[in-house]
Every structure is written in C-alpha cells, then in structure tokens.
Amino acid sequence: MASLIGAPTSRVDGRAKVTGEATYAAEFNAPGGLYGAVVTSPIARGRIERIDANLALGVEGVFDVLTHQNRPPMADADAAYADDIAPPGSPFRPFYNDRILFSGQPVALVLARDWETARFAASQVRIDYRKEPHATDLLRQRNEAFTLSGDAFAMSLAKPRGDAAQALARSPVRREGDYFIPVEHHNPMELFASTVIHEDDGKLVVHDKTQGVQNVQRYLCNVFRLKPEELRVVSPFVGGAFGLGLRPQYQVALAVLAALAVKRSVRVVLTRQQMFALSFRPATVETVALGAAVDGALQAVTHRALAMTSQYESFARNDSTWSGALYKCDNASYAHRLARLDLPTPCDMRAPGAATGVYALECAMDELAVALKLDPLELRYRAYSDLDQNEGIPFTSKALRDCYRQGAEAFGWARRNPEPRSMRDGGELIGWGMATGIWEALQMKFSVRIALSADGKAEVACATSDIGTGTYTIMSQAAAEMLGLPLENVTIKLGDSTLPQAPVEGGSWTAASVVDAIAHAADAVKSDLVELARRAPGSNFAELKPEEVSLADGRIVSKRDASLSARITDVMARTGVERIERERATEIKRDDKHARNTHSAVFAEVRVDDQLGVIRVTRVVTAIAAGRILNPKTARSQILGGVVWGIGMALHEETLIDHNFGRFMNANIAEYHMPTNADVGDIEVIFVDERDELINPFGVKGLGEIGIVGVAAAIANAVYHATGKRVRDLPITLDKLN
C-alpha cells in the first residue's frame, strides 16, 4: 500500500465546494424563519438618546425591531462573555446598553419575512445620539500609550539581555527607523453569517461562520445562560477567515438573541461594510535599531512596537522579539505599547505579530547590509544563530541555512548587482530583495473519535474546523494510512460542537495536533482489531501483540511474516462485531529545552516604471522549512496564498480612517485594494527537507502562517534595490516613490 501521508492529494471536499454541494452558514434551510438586518451606529463614541422604530415596524412584512431596550436577558458579568482567546478587558456586548464604543457598532436588529424587507426597514429606524469626543488616530495617541507586560501576550514578550542601549551607542555601524503598517482587513469571500434553527422543543441549532464551534457554543451558553445540550453550533465549511473567525462575532449573538426573543428561526448576514467593524490587523509603528561591527556581527538589537487597541480590551501580539529567535546578538531589548482608540478591538490576522514585526526587522537588516556594503544574504549568514537566544535553547530543528541556499539558487541571487538602480530592462528598474521568515510550531490538545464499521469504512470525527486549509484532506490521508484503508473509505466529520473536543483552528497548530490524535485513536482501534483476530475461530493471530502487526490494504498483517494476514472485514464478520469506536487525544509532551519554529527564506523581484513609479512583483521564490509535509499539494496552496497576501501587504492593502468621524472610509472590496491575478507574477515554492524527531512523532509543523512572514519585507527591500528609495511605511504606492 503506497503511503498516503506525504502524497500530493487533491482535496476530498473539493467537489462539494465547486459544485455547490457544500453548505455555508447563510445557506442552511430555516423553514418559517425570519431575516435580520443590522442597524449600526454612525458615531464613534457617545450614547443612544432615543430610538424610534415606528416607521420600520409599519413596513409590511416586518416582525419586530430589537434593541438594548427590549432584548431578552443577557449575562451581565464580564466573565460570562469570555471566550477562549479573549484579550484582557471587558469584551464587547452587542445590545448591552446605550453606550457607543465605535462607529459601525450594532444598535438595532430588524426582523422581517425576507432580507430585502428587513434591509429597507432598517433604513427607517430613527436613532438620536449624543456624541462625545473620540480618538482614532494612532500617531496622535502615541504619547498616551501604555506599556503592556509580557504576561498579557498570547506569545510572551522576551526578557532583555545585555545592555542594548550602551551596545548600540558603541556600535561602529548603526541603523534605526520607524516602520509603519496600517490597519488591514481580512475580507474573506464568505460574509459573516449565522442561521439559528429554533426547534420545536426550544433547542437551538446555530449554523455559524467560525473557526471554533465549541468556543462559540461556550460563549453563547454563557451569554444566554443555556446548557450545552440546549444549543449546538455547526460549521462544516468556512469560506475564508484567517483570524477573523477565531472569536465569536456579534452577528451570532444577535441571531441567537432574536431566535430566543421571537421563538422562531432567524438568519443574520452582515454586509461587507458591516464586516469592517468586526475586527482587523492593528496598525503598528515598529521602531527597530540595529548596531553591528564592521564585519557584520550584530552587537545590539532594540525593537519597540506601538500598536492600537480598543477602549475596552487590551489586544496585543508579539511583534518585537522575533530577532532573538533568528539572529545572534548578546544585547537586545524589546518593548510593546498600546494606544487606546475608539475603534473595535483588533484581532489576529495571518501570522499576527510576525507579519508586522518581522517586516520591520528584515527591512532594518537590509538597511544594515547596505550600510555595511555587505550582501543581505551574507549578513544573515553571519548573524545566524543555532539557538533561540530569547530562551537560550536550541531548536527542535532549524533548516534555515538550507532555505537560504536553495532559495538563492532557484532565484539566481548570485547574479544580483548590489548597487541600487543598477539593474534595468528598458524603462523598468529591476530590484531583487530577500528576507527571512519565522513562526511558531505549536501543538494543542485535540480529541478524535474513530468509528470503524464492519464494511471496512471508517468515520473520523473532531470538532475542529476547516477554513480552507485542507484539514478534511490531511485528516483523511492520515486516518486512511494508519487504518490501512483506501482514502475513499474514510469519512471526516468536522465543525460540530457535539463532536470530540478541539480548540479554535488558528496559529498553524491544527495539522500537527489533529494528526497526532488520529494516530492515538487509530492505535486503539488496531488494538481492538488484533484482540478480535486473536479470538476469532481458527485464528492464526493468537500469539501476536498489537505492536507486532500493521494495518495495510484493508488487512491486519504480521510484521514478522507478511503471509500471516486477514481482511479487517472478515475478522469483524467472524467475531460478529459491527463497529469499533475509540476516542483519543493529542499527547503533548512538555519540552522546555527546545524552541519550536518554522522558518523560511523569501526572494522577490520587482519591476518599477522609472517614470511613473508603478511597481510590479514579477517573481517570488520562497523556501520553507516546516518539518514533514503531509500533503505537498495543499501545502503549496497554503504558501501561495500567504505569498499573495504578502504582496497585498507590501503594495496594496490599507484601511483608511476618517478621523473626523472615526470611521473606516474604504469599507468595501472596491476601494480596499487587494492583489488580483494581474498583480501576481511567478511564485515558486520550495519545501526544504527538515527531519524533526523531537517536535512530535510525525515531525509535522504548521504552514498556515509562515507563508506570509517576510514577503512584504522582501518586496520592500527589492523596491529599494530597484529605485534607491527606502519606503518604510506600507503599502508602498507610486506616490511614495515620486
């Protein structure tokens, strides 16, 4: 039986998606249900003074208008609203009171027999507000920012080492700069939506767009004081999320609130504009200073991040300490400050903290290489560290040198002329830039249930989500190989709160974690099969132990004598067993002696019109070291998507705020610029062989985040090489070059 793990396998859910068979949150049938249209606040801060819903209620087909004044009871303690990844503070509570915390805040929900009626009636709701002064400009609030302790980070802030300030002052070569990354929005294809089915017995089935069904279930049960058996959350397919679906978004709370109020099924779908008020990658100012000896040895690194958060929560991610995990330097200091703004709480967006922090670090490294008159790749070789210096420990594996070598060879880096503006093709300047990428290789506890039936088919169940990353497929591959079954004999059940426990899908931890759980569950099933084979009439397996057999080609096979085998279906039939069911969890072994990371080397080519300043990314080569690759086909797709997102970060994406109104101005996909086909050139993905026997039994690391890290920096460095102009604030647009 050919190995399925590591084979380039097409998505098992692909046909369902392209034919429309896959059902998303807004598509589930809700007979007799109502449609909800959300009314949002036009002001950024203040109070609701008066709500007049009479005109809306007078529209034919309108059933009700819900606000904070007539909603069903909701829990009033902050703890009751907490979800698995809530940052410190007091989570936003839709319809909780008359306070306005940000522009776009939901203030009313119109329920009607169809969407068009609900939306029209929503425009007829009249609300008077009392405005209060607001602040939405990060740069203007930087003097009011406060320092966040390392304990408040999802990834803790590393401790300083040495005396970075003194070492920087003594360094013969220094570079320091502010790097600005604006607010960026996720804009997944699928709108955020929730369809709540109100069943005859009063129980609720909530179809929600989310990255964590059990997280949403816990949240809703806490908010509305329901028992888990009274509310089930389902999300089998997710049309993109990458962080925006980690926390429960307000539409699911409103849909459940409405279903409880009217005792009918309710569907709430947000508009694209309303989604801009959900959350976003926070704007940050990254201040990086590097000091080096004349030979390129790093002598000092300081990285201070200033980021935005809301008035009611303190959201932060680790922007500033990645240098300690990448480069050798005895003197380093890090800081992270937050400025409170009258905007929604930011959230995770692909490679949170690393995408922004590593952008600044890698641009600063390029500037240092220029000052040293040293090749940027050579500088990174000289600063290479085999230890995570933040912790003083080695990595479980680190094939970054191989990433540099293979990526540079594929790109042709050796042909690079180091002088800016030295490479040209007609009226276009050609620039080559590179950067390093890094992300954490995490594992979380997942539980998996495998049910093997007498017909030789298996069902694998876990409450985790598939947000388009290929989770259905890698789970199918892993289970099929471990159970010795054809791929088509394995069915995967995901995205249901009634299934075995799983955390939210994020942080690139799902693949490594769930495969480990599948392995343990499959071993338990194998043990049961061996026991059945041993006591089956006329068995030749009486003396064999589970560790002495394997499952392959639908058979139980002795490892000592391949001729000693039996069909799984025959064994179960002869013993009269219709079903074997076992549930097991990921076994995470605590290891404080090793750092766990994925790494990459990104090389980019840009062409810049010498007269107009128009930038095109024509080539990207990215070499990834991420342990064992479970499925090269879906893995390559993940990295391609990350690179395209990095192109958007570098050249296109920017959410603009009108600070007079405290409102996002380009809250649509016409004016929020993202790369399209014409903006994306050739992308080559190289998976570097990296054997890791320490991180987990399969040597697997995640891939969802690493694809974007370093891409924006490589492009920015290429733009400098092409033009001789250093642009430190993203996105790099033609007006910044002229």
- Name the DSSP class of 701: -
Q: What is the pLDDT of residues 415-438, one digit of tens each?
A: 999 999 999 999 999 999 999 999
Question: Is residue 557 scored above 70 in pLDDT?
Answer: yes
Per residue, what are the HEC states of 556-595? EEECCCCCCEEEHHHHHHHCCCCEEEEEEECCCCCCCCCE
Active site residue 705: yes
Q: What is the pLDDT of residues 367-410, one digit of tens each?
A: 999 999 999 999 999 999 999 999 999 999 999 999 999 999 99
Q: What does the pLDDT average to over 484-494?
A: 97
Chain-centre distance for alpha carbon 260: 32
> What is the per-residue pLDDT for 694?
94
Q: What is the pLDDT of residues 666-701, one digit of tens each?
A: 999 999 999 999 999 999 999 999 999 999 999 999
Laid out side by side, the sheet with 458-461 consists of 490-493, 458-461, 447-453, 579-585
Give the Cα separation of 12 and 489 in Å (integer): 12
Q: Where does the pLDDT of residue 119 fall: very low under 50, low under 70, confident under 90, or very high at 90 and above?
A: very high
Give the Cα separation of 13 and 23 in Å (integer): 12
Cβ-proximal residues to 236 (8 Å cutoff; 6+ apart), any chain: 22, 23, 494, 495, 496
Q: What does the pLDDT average to over 273-300?
A: 98
Question: Is residue 99 scored above 90 in pLDDT?
Answer: yes
Task: Report whether 601 contacts 404 (CB < 8 A).
Answer: yes
Mean pLDDT is lowest, of 123-132, 249-258, 529-538, 720-729, for 529-538
* Nearest residue to 529 via CA among 574, 487, 490, 493: 574
Q: What is the pLDDT of residues 631-640, one digit of tens each?
A: 999 999 999 9
- Dmax (CA) for the chain in angstroms is 85
> What is the per-residue pLDDT for 493?
98
- What tokens were used for 400? 């970054």
Task: Report whether 598 contacts 627 (CB < 8 A).
Answer: yes
- What tokens were used for 555? 């058979």
Higher pLDDT, 15 or 535: 15
The one-letter amino acid code at 516 reads D
Q: What is the pLDDT of residues 67-88, one digit of tens each?
A: 999 999 999 888 777 788 889 8
Q: Where does the pLDDT of residue 155 fall: very low under 50, low under 70, confident under 90, or very high at 90 and above?
A: low
Which residues is 287 bridged to in the sheet?
A: 178, 304
Domains and CATH numbers, the chain: 18-133+189-241+245-275 (3.90.1170.50), 144-184+281-442+593-736 (3.30.365.10), 444-585 (3.30.365.10)
User: What percentage of residues in the chain have a pLDDT greater than 90?
Assistant: 91
Phi, psi of 471 (to 5 degrees): -60, -40
Give the Cα separation of 352 and 87 in Å (integer): 14
Give the Cα separation of 243 and 356 in Å (integer): 15
- What tokens were used for 242? 């990458």
What predicted TM-score, i.e. pTM, was given to this entire model?
0.97
The one-letter amino acid code at 655 reads T
